[in-house]
Amino acid sequence: MPDSPAKNLFDVQKWNARLPELSKTYQENQPFPNIELADFLDEKLIQKVVDEFPKPGDTNWIQYKHINENKLGKNKRSEFPPLIGQLIDELNSPEFVAWLCELTGIADLRSDVTLEGGGMHQTELGGFLNVHADFITHHHHKHWIRTCNLILYLNPGWAEAWGGGLELWDKDMQSCVKRVPPFCNRALIFNTGAKSFHGYPDPIQCPSDTTRKSLALYYYVIVDEPVKVPRSTNYQARPGEGMLKRSLIWLDNKALGVYSWAKKKFGLSDGFASRVLATLFRKIK
CA dist., res. 97 & res. 252, Å (int): 34
Residues facing 129 on adjacent strands:
69, 200
* 79 vs 252, higher pLDDT: 79
Domains annotated for the chain, with CATH where assigned, are 12-284 (2.60.120.620)
Q: Closest Cα partner for 235 from 146, 129, 158, 131?
A: 131
When pLDDT is averaged across residues 118-130 and rounded to a whole number, the result is 98
When pLDDT is averaged across residues 85-105 and rounded to a whole number, the result is 98
Name the burial class of residue 28, with classes exposed (0-12), middle (13-18) and buried (19+) by CB atoms within 10 angstroms of its CB.
exposed
Residue 4's pLDDT is what? 44
Under a CB-based contact definition with an 8 Å cutoff, are residues 227 and 136 in contact? Answer: yes
Task: Name 108's Cβ contacts closer than 8 Å, sequence gap at least 6.
Answer: 101, 221, 222
- pLDDT of residue 278 exceeding 90: no
Tell me the per-residue pLDDT of 220-255, one tens digit each, with 9 for 90 and over: 999 988 776 556 799 999 999 999 999 999 998 888
69 phi, psi to nearest 5 deg: -160, 160
CA dist., res. 136 & res. 226, Å (int): 10
Under a CB-based contact definition with an 8 Å cutoff, are residues 86 and 6 in contact? Answer: yes
Mean pLDDT of the chain: 90
When pLDDT is averaged across residues 195-201 and rounded to a whole number, the result is 98
* 7 vs 50, higher pLDDT: 50
168 phi, psi to nearest 5 deg: -110, 120
Under a CB-based contact definition with an 8 Å cutoff, are residues 37 and 186 in contact? Answer: yes
Least confident of 39-53, 132-146, 267-281: 267-281
Residues facing 36 on adjacent strands:
188
CA dist., res. 147 & res. 141, Å (int): 14
- pLDDT of residue 179 exceeding 70: yes
Pick left, alpha or beta for residue 105 (phi over 0 → left; psi -120 to 50 → alpha; otherwise beta).
Answer: left
CA dist., res. 183 & res. 27, Å (int): 23
Q: Closest Cα partner for 269 from 75, 127, 92?
A: 75
219 phi, psi to nearest 5 deg: -125, 150
The DSSP result for 44-81, as a single string, is HHHHHHHHHSPPTTTS--EEEEETTEEEEEE--GGGS-
Q: Closest Cα partner for 220 from 94, 98, 136?
A: 136
C-beta contacts of 178-182 below 8 A and 24+ residues apart: 178/29, 178/30, 178/31, 178/34, 180/36, 182/153, 182/155, 182/158, 182/212, 182/214
